Amino acid sequence: MPNTPSTAAAAKHASLLSPLPLFFVLLWSSGFIVAKFGLPYAPPLTFLVLRFLGVLLFLVPAVVLLKAPWPRGRIWQIAVAGLLVQAGYLIGVWCAIKLGMPAGLSALIVGMQPILTAFAAPLIGEKVRPRQWLGLVFGLGGVALVVAAKIKLVGLSTDAILLCVLALLSMTAGTLYQKRYCPHFDLRTGTVIQFAASLVVVLPLAIIFEGWTPEFAAVQWTPRFVGALLWSVMGLSIGAIFLLFALIRRSDATQVTSLLYLTPPTTAVMAWLMFGEAFNALGMAGMALAVMGVIFVVKKTR
C-alpha cells in the first residue's frame, strides 16, 4: 500500500518521538543527584518552594510572549494531576531523603510504581498483557539488584518510609488520573497550572514545618546549591516533566511508568561517575535485567 501524506507524517512524528524515553530516563534519574547536591543547604520544603517559583518565573513570561492557549474546562483536573505528580511525589521523596532515607531504598520503594500502575490499568481502560507482566517482574527484580548493596536499614525512621510510600502512591495516582481525565493540553500553560497549584500547597507547609520566610533565611546560597536549584527547575521540573507528559499522551500508562525501572540503574551510574560510589557486577546484572523488563513492557506486538 503506498504511503499517504498522513501516514508519512505520522511515521516522521513517531521517529521524532523515539528518543523521548531515553532523554526522559536520563533527566528523571538525575533527581537523586540534585537532592544530594541541594538538600544539605536548604530544608526540603523550602527547596521545593524555590523550585516551583523558578518554574513559574520562567514559564509565565514564556506563556505570555508565545500566547500559549489555556485549557478550557479542564483546569481543575490538570491542577489535581499536578498536585499528585508534583507536590505529593516531591514532598514524599525529598522529605524522606532529608530524614535519612538512603537513595537506594527510596528508589526501590518508588520503583514499585509500574507494578501498581499495571494493577490499576483496568480503571482507565488499559489491558496489561502476560508478556508485560513478566517484564514488570523482571524490571522490579533488576531494580532490587541494583540497590541491594546500597540499602541500609540502621537508624531508618518510620516517618521516612511512610513519606516514600506517600510519594509512590501520589505519583501512581497522578499518572493514572492525568491519563484518564486530562491527557492532552498545552504543555506550557498546563505546567504553569500544575506548579502554581503545587506552590499553593507546599508554601503553607514550608511556613508551618520549616518556619519559611520571604527572605529564605534557612538557605545557604552556595554555588553547589544554586546549580542544583537551576537544574531542578530547568532539567527536572520543565525538561523531564514535559517529556513525561508527552509520553503519557502517546503511550499506555503501564508502558510509561515501566521506564522508571531504569531510573535506579541510571542514577547508580551517575553516582559512580560523579561521586565515585560503588557500582559492582551485581548492579550491572540488575541494570541488564531492568532493561530487559522494560523492553518486554514497551515492545509492541504485531
Asked if 256 contacts 248 with a C-beta cutoff of 8 angstroms, the reply is yes
Q: State in Å, rounded, how far the first CA of the chain is from the last one.
A: 17
Grid coordinates representing 299 are 515492545
Q: What is the 3-state secondary structure (H, E, C) of 222-273?
A: CHHHHHHHHHHHHHHHHHHHHHHHHHHHHCCHHHHHHHHHHHHHHHHHHHHH
Using the 8-state DSSP alphabet, how is residue 39 labeled? Answer: G
pLDDT computed for residue 151 by the predictor: 62
Q: Pick from 76, 31, 10: which is nearest to 240 by CA?
A: 31
Mean pLDDT by 10 residues, the chain (302 residues): 46 52 88 86 96 97 95 92 95 90 74 82 83 85 74 70 92 91 91 97 96 93 95 94 85 79 79 73 79 77 46
- For residue 284, CA distances in Å to 148, 278, 280 come to 12, 11, 6
φ and ψ at residue 215, rounded to 5 degrees: -80, -5
CA angle (227 as vertex; 224, 230 as ends), nearest 5: 150
Instruction: Measure the CA–CA gap between 65 and 265, rounded to whole angstroms.
Output: 40
- Grid look-up 533488576 returns 142
Residue 152: per-residue pLDDT: 59
Contact between 168 and 116 (Cβ < 8 Å): yes
Give the pLDDT score at 91: 96
Instruction: Report the C-alpha gap between 166 and 96 in whole angstroms.
Output: 10
Q: What is the C-alpha to C-alpha distance for residues 124 and 76, in angstroms, rounded to an integer?
A: 19
Quickly tell me which residue has 524555590 as its cell.
50
Predicted TM-score of the model (pTM):
0.84
Q: Are 290 and 158 in contact (CB under 8 A)?
A: no
Q: Which of 203, 197, 162, 191 is nearest to 49 (CA)?
A: 203
